């Protein structure tokens, strides 16, 4: 019993010596001392302080005192924190669903899904001209990985060149990325091919990096944000994707 009385006495003394300051921290001037009989209203917790600090209002001597306390053990502050913790667990209501389009009104198109990014690349073509992929250099970029010694690869490169000619004015960039081969041998193949687009050596192994098959002539379609949105060796699929992308730009 004696121990209980000592604890109660200590708590009452603690409450009686809690200062109310005009600012957070020990540097603030004391404007009041909280008494056990004072009714305290906790306005809010002060953020950005290294120790707990609360803005409070209390009535003393018929006057309203406003200030700050840094004692989180006060019963009113304990209750304030309890309520705040409870409220923070209340689930946030879901936003209302978007209204259905009116009759005859088109539904807004969904954002175009994008694939993995194609890392920015710069280099030179077979004739020494500078090339760049990325950095907003084109609305759509086609990169065809091909092998000069593969008939399918050569056909894919020729198709790429024709597609590049057709859509160049609309913002298409086409690059034929050939597997390393001697310049003399590559020149021999190019002499027999009907194509007018930049041809660059794939010296960094980009075909393997992006899962392309030079033997089949895989073409990557890269959008304006430099993401790969399609990869195929089917010329019809590539053309359809190019048409769709450039019509939506």
Give residue-wise pLDDT tens across range 110-119. 445 556 888 8
| pTM (predicted TM-score) | 0.55
Would you say residue 115 lies in a domain?
A: no
Residue 105, pLDDT score: 62
Would you say residue 238 lies in a domain?
A: yes
Would you say residue 169 lies in a domain?
A: yes
Same domain, 23 and 141: no
Same domain, 214 and 139: yes
Beta-carbon count within 10 A of 131 CB: 16
Q: How far is it, in rounded angstroms, from Cα 45 to Cα 42?
A: 8
Owning domain of residue 172: 121-248
Same domain, 125 and 243: yes
Would you say residue 151 lies in a domain?
A: yes
Kindly report the average pLDDT of the chain as a whole number. 80
Average pLDDT over residues 165-187: 91
Would you say residue 109 lies in a domain?
A: no
Would you say residue 1 lies in a domain?
A: no
> Per-residue confidence at 87, pLDDT binned at 50, 70, 90?
low
Strand partners, 231: 220
Domain count, the chain: 2
Residue 49, pLDDT score: 55
Would you say residue 98 lies in a domain?
A: no
Higher-confidence position of 73 and 154: 154
Same domain, 60 and 136: no
Same domain, 71 and 129: no
């Amino acid at each position: 019993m004696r121990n209980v009385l000592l604890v109660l006495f200590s708590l009452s003394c603690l409450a009686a010596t809690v200062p109310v300051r005009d600012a957070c921290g020990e540097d603030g001037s004391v404007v009041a001392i909280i008494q056990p009989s004072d009714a305290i209203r906790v306005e809010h917790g002060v953020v950005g302080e290294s120790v707990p600090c609360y803005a409070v209002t209390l009535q003393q001597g018929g006057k309203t005192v406003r200030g700050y306390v840094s004692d989180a053990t006060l019963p009113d502050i304990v209750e304030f924190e309890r309520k705040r913790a409870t409220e923070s667990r209340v689930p946030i209501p879901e936003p209302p669903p978007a209204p259905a389009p009116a009759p005859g009104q088109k539904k807004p198109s969904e954002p175009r899904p994008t694939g993995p990014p194609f890392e920015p690349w710069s280099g030179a073509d077979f004739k020494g001209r500078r090339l760049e992929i990325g950095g907003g250099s084109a609305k759509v970029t086609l990169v065809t990985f091909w092998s000069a010694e593969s008939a399918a690869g050569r056909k894919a490169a020729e198709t790429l060149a024709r597609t590049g000619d057709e859509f160049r004015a609309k913002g298409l960039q086409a690059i034929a990325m050939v597997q390393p081969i001697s310049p003399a041998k590559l020149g021999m193949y190019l002499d027999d091919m009907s194509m007018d687009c930049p041809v660059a050596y794939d010296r960094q192994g980009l075909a393997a990096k992006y899962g392309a098959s030079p033997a089949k002539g895989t073409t990557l379609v890269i959008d304006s944000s430099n993401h790969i949105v399609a990869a195929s060796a089917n010329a019809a699929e590539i053309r359809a994707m190019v048409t769709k992308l450039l019509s939506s730009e």
